[in-house]
Structure 1
Amino acid sequence: MSKKEPFGIYIHIPYCKAKCRYCDFYSAPGARGVPQSYVDALLRELARNTRRPDTVYFGGGTPGLLSPAQVDALIQAAAPLPGAEITLEANPDIVTSETLRGFRAAGVTRISFGVQSSDDAQLRRLGRTHTAAGAAQALAWAREAGFDEICGDIMLALPEYTNAEFDRTLALLRDGGCTHISAYLLKVEPGTAFYRSPPAGLPDGDAAADFYLYAVQQLEAAGYRQYEISNFARPGHEGRHNLLYWNCNDYWGIGPAAHSCVDNVRRFWPGDVQGFIDGTIHEEIEGDCTVEDYLLMQLRLVSGLDIAEYERRGGRFTAAQRAFMRQCVSHEYATLDGNVFRLTPAGMVVQNAILAELI
């Protein structure tokens, strides 16, 4: 592997208590823990790495199903650099005060809770297994365990959604001590329970856009500065690991369905838990990370696209594309500050349409 800095490791934990009705991620529902055989397979792969990471991210699935001892062993094997950001995703009803203290003692610096909503009826509709009171308790336990970096997720444009539901969820996360909030629109993906049987009361595209813009405004007012299309943080608390993705830095994913990009080459693991445990599947090459990928990722960020850097990487905008960019500015979908092209919140709503013109 390259020695270029920075570098992150993503560790995929595919096990979860129950499959949410909107989820299209690779996961194995019905789990009450993570088999040691799976952890051993992760340790086997980590032993191949010779590069110390700046960030480690436990994603899933539900990484909170790991025991603190398993997390400790995986962090030790990853050998992160001093001061590394180490994130673990968890569902509020999976953790206890004891496990959170154990995760913190193992070296986890950042805990991320999939709260989604403060409305219990909405949570049941989504297939979530926690309650609003349970989320508040988990946040309190995280503070007591010594976590300074606490993250919470909010889903927008849910069935029968209102701004009032967003306000209550934001208040739950803010009062719970969250330093970082991810707020993203519900997407009904093929293969999910919602796709097979769509819920009643889903907002249309215009209403969803309005919910997003309202969320951006309210999060800013609450002290959470937007730095990416769906991510908001108190100053200095931005997620370092995900910034590796958006800035096209190196990251290595381990586990079935995990993706990597190292030295501008994208790889992935096939989605096969048992094959991963047995060592019968291996990473496969997906393709090169292109200048178009860089453009797409940079326009997710509030910091925007540095056009000179884009051109240094081999990108070029035609005269027609530059005219389109100026048109975006005139319609307040973007700003052009010197050589930096940034999407506004209104532009982020229609990001796909803008990218279609620029790629």
Structure 2
Amino acid sequence: MSRNEPFGIYIHIPYCRSKCRYCDFYSAPGARGVPQAYVDALLRELAKNTRRPDTLYFGGGTPALLSPGQVSTLIQAADPLPGAEITLEANPDVVTPETLLGFRQAGVNRISFGVQSADDAQLQRLGRTHTAAGAARALAWAQEAGFPDICGDIMLALPQYTNAEFDRTLALLQNGGCTHISAYLLKVEPGTAFYRNPPAGLPDADAAADFYLYAVRQLEAAGYRQYEISNFARPGHEGRHNLLYWNCEPYRGIGPAAHSCVDNVRRFWPGDVQGFIDGTIHEEIEGDCTAEDYLLMQLRLTRGLDLEEYARRGGHFTAAQQAFMRQCVTHGYAVWEGSSFRLTPAGMVVQNAILTELI
């Protein structure tokens, strides 16, 4: 691994006050915050790291359940490089003006709020515990705390969804000073409350595609440039940490259910909080990062796949696959320019189908 390559550390905070009805991420009850024993286990693993990161990401779960003091201790232990991007995910109803100021003073420079919708009935349906007014307050507090990057999530194609709901949510995030917006379609995943009891009024696939394409247009018009299938940013505010994943660059994940890719080998931690605290579980090898992984990740990006780099990594398209790619261009699903093959927004809607043909 070259020392000139970007390198990131992901710290998983699995604790949540409650489980959202659509969530299939690994989590644990955390009504009283994050136990110090868990923070100590993170510090134990951070002490084994030998490389300073230029991105540090607190994901979850609900990382904002950490105290500012705990965040400060973890950042110091990670020892990020000067100018590192340091992100912390938050729920609007978990933060206060004091904790946000504390996170900022600890070194966090990118705060990411799971807003999802500006419709209170929808938020309740999703199992979210905040309101639209609460989200607006949290965004205002983040601005007051001086975060240079404020991010917000929007969920699309929710039950009984309308373009008007999207417009209200976008306005809430714009007014809250968001420099980055993630907009993604609801997926009903196995093991979730929505999977066990599907909500009424879910849009069909065609309607969901229309909502996605409408969101892309509206976000672009509002000054948020699309750079990845679900991510939009004002120029210069793209998420550097997630770009590590999509560019197949090295990152280390710490915590139960966290993943890593270092020296082209993918690893993961088993989902076991107590085992992680006790030190009885360890990272397990998932496999090598392959040319197919690179293809999967790069076609998420609006700049697309560099065919020369793909070939350098051992990738190859058959004559039949190349003919399919040309068909994608003809039908408006892709653009092929020189050595770059990239999907259009219409192509991103059917990305899985396109990848099935290319892998």
Q: Same fold (TM over 0.5)?
A: yes
Asked if the contact 1:2/1:263 (under 8 Å) is kept, the reply is no
Aligned: 1:160 with 2:163? no
Number of residue equivalences: 359
> How far does residue 29 in structure 1 lie from its aligned partner after superposition?
2.9
2:268 maps to what in 1?
A: 268
For the Cα contact (< 8 Å) 1:14–1:26, is it kept in 2?
yes
The aligned counterpart of 1:357 is: 357
Instruction: Report the counterpart of residue 236 of structure 2 in structure 1.
Output: 236
Q: Does 1:72 align with 2:72?
A: yes
Q: In the alignment, which residue of structure 1 is the partner of 2:32?
A: 32
| Structure 1 vs Structure 2 CA RMSD | 0.8
Q: What runs of 5+ residues in structure 2 fail to find an aligned partner?
A: none
The Cα of 1:5 is off from its aligned counterpart by: 1.5
Q: How does 1:118-267 map to 2 (within 5 A)?
A: 118-267=118-267
Task: Give the structure 1 partner of residue 294 of structure 2.
Answer: 294
Equivalents in 2 of 1:4, 1:289: separation in Å?
A: 19
Distance of 1:265 and 1:339 partners within structure 2? 27
User: For 2:16 and 2:83, how far apart are their aligned partners in 1?
Assistant: 29
Q: Which residue of 2 aligns with 1:279?
A: 279
Query: What is the rounded CA distance, in whole Å, between the counterparts of 2:314 and 2:159 in structure 1?
Result: 44
Identity %: 87
Residue by residue over 1:203-229, the C-alpha shift from the partner in whole angstroms, topping out at 9 and shown as x without a partner, is 000000000000000000000000000
CA distance in 2 between counterparts of 1:167 and 1:142 reads: 22
**Structure 1 segments unaligned to the other structure (5+ residues):** none
Q: Could you report, residue by residue, the CA deviation over 1:1-53 in whole angstroms, capped at 9, with x for unpaired residues?
A: 76451100000000011100000000013523000000000000000001000
1:96 aligns with 2:96: yes
2:17 match: 17
Q: Give, in whole Å, the separation in 2 of the partners of 1:339 and 1:252.
A: 31
Instruction: With the length of structure 1 as denominator, give the TM-score of the two structures.
Output: 0.99
**TM (normalized to structure 2)?**
0.99
Question: How big is the shift at 1:136?
Answer: 0.2
Q: Provide the secondary structure at the position in 1 that maps to 2:208.
A: helix
Note closer, same or farther for the CA distance 1:316–1:254 as it changes in structure 2 (3 Å cut): same
* Alpha-carbon separation, structure 1, partners of 2:309 and 2:50: 30
8 Å CA contact 1:2–1:262 kept in 2: the answer is no
Q: Deviations over 1:275-329 (max 9, x none)?
A: 0000000000000110000000000000100101100111111111111111000
CA distance in 1 between counterparts of 2:315 and 2:278 reads 42
Distance 1:219 1:72 in 2: 34
Structure 2 match to 1:328: 328
Report the Cα offset of residue 196 of structure 1. 0.3
Counterpart residue type for residue 18 of structure 1: S
- SS state of the match for residue 58, structure 1? strand
